[in-house]
Amino acid sequence: MKIPLNTCPVCGFDQLAESPRNRTGGASMEICSCCGFQFGVSDDDQGVSYDDYRERWIAGGMAWSSKGKKAPKGWNPQTQLGALARLATLKRVKGRPPRFSMQLL
Ligand SMILES: [Zn+2]
């Protein structure tokens, strides 16, 4: 299973306007309204990995990042991260029953 195209690989927010990376690897330059990661800038220009950024975001209290866009109704950063962790785990242990990994948290 692959992480859905318009899902933020940092925080698991699944309503990005476009895929963070296109098929040729080009960055979307989009800023995730949830965690504030900017694809092509935070990673390429600033050299921050998804994991490092995620850790910082979690340490900072998993706040909604965008000032202009409101969080979706019922938004829950923990549920969102849990879904991302499940996807990541499913990807790693293909063909075996899903295991929950707490590494992301
Ligand atoms: Zn994000």
Q: For 30-62, what is each residue's pLDDT tens digit? A: 999 999 999 999 999 999 999 999 999 999 999
Q: Is the pTM of this model over 0.75?
A: yes
Across-strand partners of 31? 38
Give the count of domains, the chain. Answer: 1
What are the pLDDT digits (tens) for 80-92?
999 998 888 776 6
What's the 86 CA to ligand 1 centre distance in angstroms? 16
3-state DSSP call for residue 27? strand
Nearest residue to 63 (alpha-carbon basis) of 85, 38, 32: 32
What's the 54 CA to ligand 1 centre distance in angstroms? 8
Enclosing domain of residue 53: 1-105
- Cα–Cα distance for residue pair 89/23, rounded to 1 Å: 23
What's the 16 CA to ligand 1 centre distance in angstroms? 8
What's the 15 CA to ligand 1 centre distance in angstroms? 9
Average pLDDT of the chain, as a whole number: 87
